[in-house]
Amino acid sequence: MNKEKKVPERSCIGCGAKREKKELLRVLRSPEGLWEIDPTGRKNGRGAYLCPDPECLRKAEKRRGLQKSFRMEVPAEIYRRLQEELERLAK
């Protein structure tokens, strides 16, 4: 009976909530190894998804969300830089 169209869903690496892709921010690791937030979701590289909420990034750090998602070590400094970028985008 559900006639709603299937929309692509992703889980936030912080709170774990499933949301539509377009409602989430993409955290990108470029082929050069640079980390950034990709609001368009179109840049080249591997991505993980996060609610547009600095609180979720803090949760992701506690849960080691990026480490799990990318299967690599992620220094605390990377989280701090992403946090700054996220706060800038939120303004």
Cβ closer to Zn ion: 51 or 66?
51
14 near Zn ion, judged by CB under 5 A: yes
Angle between the N-to-C axes of helices 54-63 and 76-90, in degrees from 0 to 180, rounded to the nearest 10: 160
Least distance to Zn ion, CB of residue 61, Å? 12
Q: Which residues within the stretch 23-62 sit at the binding site for Zn ion (CB under 5 A)?
A: 51, 56
Nearest to 50, CA basis, from 24, 68, 85: 24
Q: For residues 86 and 91, what is the distance between their CA atoms, to the nearest angstrom? A: 9
What are the residues binding Zn ion (CB under 5 A)? 12, 14-15, 51, 56
